[in-house]
Amino acid sequence: MAERVSARLDQLLTSEGEWWSALDADLSAPVRTLQRLAVGGGKRLRPAFCEWGFRAAGGDVDDPAATDAVAGVGLAFELLHAFALVHDDVMDESRLRRSEVTAHIEYADRHEAAGWRGPSGHFGESVAILVGDLAHVLASRVMFDQPPSVRTLWHELEVELMMGQYLDILGTARGDRTVEKAARIVQLKSGRYTIERPLRIGAEVAAAHLGGGSPDPAVVHALNGYGEPLGEAFQLRDDLLGAFGDPLVTGKPVGDDLREGKPTLLLALAHEVATPEQARLLDRVGDPALDHDDIEALQRVLVETGARARVEDRVSRRTVQAVDALRTSAVPREVRSGLGDLAHFIAMREV
């Protein structure tokens, strides 16, 4: 499914680029940028969970129409993810994504090199917003032919993603360091969007092709029991990578999340038990001028307060909880095995 979605993504964006380039050569640029960022990298997790949700609900993998529908939803998820990442990079002022220059930096550099009018940074951010919007519109177009039940869940997902992103921005600006707020951001911005909704939408696609009813409630219950804790584990691992990850693996500078001041559970737990001296260091989180030594000092605080160990422990416990939710469920054995493998990949990944 990952290969199939990647091929469809490349084909769609190549076709779009050719169409717009024929109208005006300048119009190929935003499509090429989207293609560079979306096709060249990514783990294709959302299409994978969508496929496993389809299989869990009894979807026939030998039915070309059904599997084509799953691939279409997977394509839409990758476009929506590209939209979110491009906009996220603007909001976070990130220069790198997957070791590639981000869209707003690409166009700011192009503007400056050409000596065009106006501020280069503003131009770059403006174009990046349009590139992200283009990805969102293309995702909506791909979803147009899906059954109403699938589109309803899709639209709920879109709103959840926006609301989670708002809380993330607000929390960064206010310096929120509460466990409750961090948990809500995890659920809305990442957990549901990455795992719960793809699983459920895949199940709805299966039901639509099996007669148009709803998925078995027992299967839906099992998928929710798996997806909710694993969605949290996914984001918590992401937070650990943002603070401690190897830039050669993550494709982002070490400690970028600490410079951005993201309201993570990792920071909330550190603040709960920090000494006055440690708290003073933690108050520097969110300063874009943090250098390598500053980042190392903050990393030590996250270790010494036990925050890193507590988050690692929570990742492990939530992953076990996710896998356990499937053990006695109505989900087919091969699906339980596949989802178990994905859960352990989520928990242990380095990128």
- pLDDT per position as a tens digit, 7-59: 999 999 999 999 999 999 999 999 999 999 999 878 899 999 999 999 999 99
Tell me the three state secondary structure of residue 325. Answer: helix
227 secondary structure, DSSP code: H
44 close to 6: Cβ distance less than 8 angstroms: yes
Ordered by where they begin, the domains of the chain are 2-348 (1.10.600.10)
Hey, what amino acid is at 226?
Y
List residues bridging with 100 in a β-sheet: 97
Q: Check whether 218 has a pLDDT greater than 90.
A: yes
List residues bridging with 101 in a β-sheet: 96
pLDDT (0 to 100) of residue 213 = 84
pLDDT (0 to 100) of residue 179 = 87
Q: Check whether 329 has a pLDDT greater than 90.
A: no
CA distance 166 to 320: 30
Which residues have a Cβ under 8 Å from the Cβ of 78 and sit 6 or more positions away? Answer: 5, 9, 38, 42, 44, 46, 47
CA distance 304 to 308: 8
Q: Check whether 189 has a pLDDT greater than 80.
A: no
Mean pLDDT of the chain: 94
CA distance 41 to 265: 27
Q: What is the pLDDT of residues 266-298, one digit of tens each?
A: 999 999 999 999 999 999 999 989 999 999 999
245 secondary structure, DSSP code: -
Concatenate the DSSP letters of all residues of 149-201 into one string: HHHHHHHHHHHHHHHHHHHHHHHHHHT---HHHHHHHIIIIIIIIIIIHHHHH
State both tokens at 175: 């310096």
pLDDT (0 to 100) of residue 181 = 87
Closest alpha carbon to 12 in 128, 129, 131, 142: 142
Whole-model pTM: value is 0.94
